[in-house]
Amino acid sequence: MTDGGGPGDGARVRTISVLVAGQVLGGVSAGATISLGALLAADVTGDEALSGLASTFLTLGAALAAVPLARVAVRLGRRPALASGVFVSACGAAATIAAVAASSAPLLFVAFLLVGVGSAVGLQARFAATDLSGPRSRARDLAVVVWATTIGAVLGPNLVGPGAVLGAAIGLPERTGPFLFSIASGLLAVVVYLVGLRPDPLIENRRRGAASASAGAREERPSAGRRRFAILAVTASHAVMVAVMAMTPVQLHHHGNADAVVGFTLSLHIAGMYALSPVFGWLADRWGRIPLVLTGEAVLAAALVIASVGAGDTTAVSVGLVLLGLGWSAATIAGSALVTESTPLDARPRVQGRTDLLMNLGGAAAGALAGVVLSIIGYGGLALAALAIVTVVVVAGVVTGRSRSAALAR
């Protein structure tokens, strides 16, 4: 297993290529639900106040699937874990069409739970990218798979129009046509994973009996302290991002901005989250995991200060949201790499699954509480409250870094 150019490099490159293809297809599959989920929830329930439950159930589905998918990976490998998760998500897309046709709200929300499993697959795929990576390329490989999410996220919503035309042509209920693309891309992703992930990266890593070590390079010794910090960083950074991002459309609307402005601002935020992922992966491999996590937290802090001070200014809020995405990206990529290499090989899938579980639960809780905080202390106050969470991560990072330095000095 090498970082590049060695005998194990072909399997590593092939694995990453397959995971990138799967991420693109998964993003297309999720695009319709992200774009239309809230509208379908309002249509089926007859109550716009319940439209927000769409994102709640999608997030909950991802959280509930994280640990079971990790268990499948432990027992059978990454290939069946990723393929089965995408298949469940495709079934959820089919169930969405059935739920709208039957005007069944309970079935619709169950369908959203199943579709949310696809998000858990996307998160597990970033960890799968590290199975055959050495320490000098681990964060970079992980980041490439995260970056691929951008392609699917852009393509998916743009298929809503053609999907509507296709759905109308074959007599599907209104707004359900795009889910045909979700089903097709999901099933294609199943084939990609089952056929392409050979050898299975996790099983191959175990067979070689090495924790992704490159020729002449030493792995970091597993460390419970560094692992706890990494999980904290990933979970807290995600919670901060979701809390502020979720309330930004409300804030922009309160100041008279049109839907087009809101959509453009959120597009910039998504670009910040994913577009520079490979750069952050390279920096994490070059600088180290904890330094880049702390850099990400510094960017998050800057974003929150700008959003708080300029809460009434659309430009300031937009700049803050872009920085929010960039900070999230840096902290999540470096933190995810640190979770992997600070955990013993045989425990990695389980710990990775728990990390994704906590990440999704943190985001769901933050999104739910953000509205309450906004109503009490406003958007600027929400940003400052989130700054307290960033401060906790920074302090924990400094303490963890010093502890490691002291241990190396002994």
* Residues making up the chain, counted from first to last: 410
User: DSSP labels for 193-210?
Assistant: HHHH--S-HHHHHHHHTS
Q: How far apart are the C-alpha atoms of 119 and 182, rounded to whole Å?
A: 13
Q: How far apart are the C-alpha atoms of 181 and 325, rounded to whole Å?
A: 28
176 and 247 in a single domain? The answer is: no
Q: How far apart are the C-alpha atoms of 59 and 62, rounded to whole Å?
A: 5
Can you give the CATH number for the domain in which 179 is found? 1.20.1250.20
Q: How far apart are the C-alpha atoms of 58 and 158, rounded to whole Å?
A: 20
185 and 233 in a single domain? The answer is: no
What single-letter amino acid sits at 271?
A
Q: Looking at 173, 208, 243, which one is the last position of a domain? A: 208
Rounded to 10 degrees, the C-alpha dihedral 332/334/335/339 comes to 130
Q: How far apart are the C-alpha atoms of 31 and 41, rounded to whole Å?
A: 16
> Does some domain include residue 137?
yes
Within 10 angstroms of residue 363's Cβ, the number of other Cβ atoms is 23
262, 246 in Cβ contact below 8 A? no
Query: In the prediction, which pLDDT does 386 show?
Result: 95
> Does some domain include residue 216?
no
What single-letter amino acid sits at 252?
L
pLDDT tens for each residue of the chain, 410 residues long: 445 444 457 889 999 999 999 998 987 777 666 667 777 888 888 886 676 677 778 888 999 999 999 999 999 999 999 999 999 999 999 999 999 999 999 999 999 999 999 989 999 999 999 999 888 899 999 999 999 887 776 676 677 778 888 988 999 988 888 889 889 999 999 999 999 999 999 999 888 765 444 444 455 577 889 999 999 999 999 999 988 887 887 777 676 665 566 667 777 888 888 889 999 999 999 999 999 999 999 999 999 999 999 888 888 988 999 999 999 999 999 999 999 999 988 899 999 999 999 999 998 888 878 888 888 898 899 999 999 999 999 999 999 988 766 555 55
Classify 42 as helix, strand or coil: helix
pTM: 0.84
Nearest one of 138, 14, 35 to 79, comparing CA atoms = 14
174 and 252 in a single domain? The answer is: no
299 and 179 in a single domain? The answer is: no
Q: Looking at 149, 179, 208, which one is the last position of a domain? A: 208
329, 273 in Cβ contact below 8 A? yes
114 and 240 in a single domain? The answer is: no
317, 266 in Cβ contact below 8 A? no
Nearest one of 106, 94, 96, 112 to 58, comparing CA atoms = 112
140 and 63 in a single domain? The answer is: yes
> Does some domain include residue 251?
yes
257 and 393 in a single domain? The answer is: yes
Q: CA 152, 240, 68, 142 torsion: positive or negative? A: positive
Q: How far apart are the C-alpha atoms of 52 and 212, rounded to whole Å?
A: 42
Q: How far apart are the C-alpha atoms of 157 and 34, rounded to whole Å?
A: 8
* Structure-token match 């190396």, residue found: 408
> Does some domain include residue 218?
no
336, 226 in Cβ contact below 8 A? no
371 and 305 in a single domain? The answer is: yes
> Does some domain include residue 324?
yes
Within 10 angstroms of residue 9's Cβ, the number of other Cβ atoms is 17
251 and 146 in a single domain? The answer is: no
> Does some domain include residue 133?
yes
Query: In the prediction, which pLDDT does 262 show?
Result: 66
Classify 394 as helix, strand or coil: helix
Within 10 angstroms of residue 317's Cβ, the number of other Cβ atoms is 23
Helix ranges (H only) for 223-258 are: 224-254
Q: CA 268, 271, 272, 276 torsion: positive or negative? A: negative
Paired tokens of 194: 């089952």
The one-character DSSP state at 221 is P
Residue-wise pLDDT for 85-121, tens only, equals: 999 999 999 999 999 999 999 999 999 999 999 989 9
**How many Å is the Cα radius of gyration of the chain?**
21
252 is in which domain, residue-wise?
Answer: 224-403
Q: How far apart are the C-alpha atoms of 367 and 261, rounded to whole Å?
A: 21
Q: How far apart are the C-alpha atoms of 282 and 114, rounded to whole Å?
A: 34
Q: Percentage helix, strand, coil, to 5, in the chain? A: 85, 0, 15
202 and 284 in a single domain? The answer is: no
228 and 114 in a single domain? The answer is: no
For the chain, report the end-to-end CA distance as a whole number of angstroms.
30
> Does some domain include residue 219?
no
Q: Looking at 143, 175, 208, which one is the last position of a domain? A: 208
Q: Exposed e or buried b for every residue in 246-256, given b needs 16+ CB within 10 A? A: bbbbebbeeee
> Does some domain include residue 1?
no
64 and 145 in a single domain? The answer is: yes
| Number of domains the chain contains | 2
What are phi and psi for residue 247, nearest 5 degrees? Answer: -95, -10
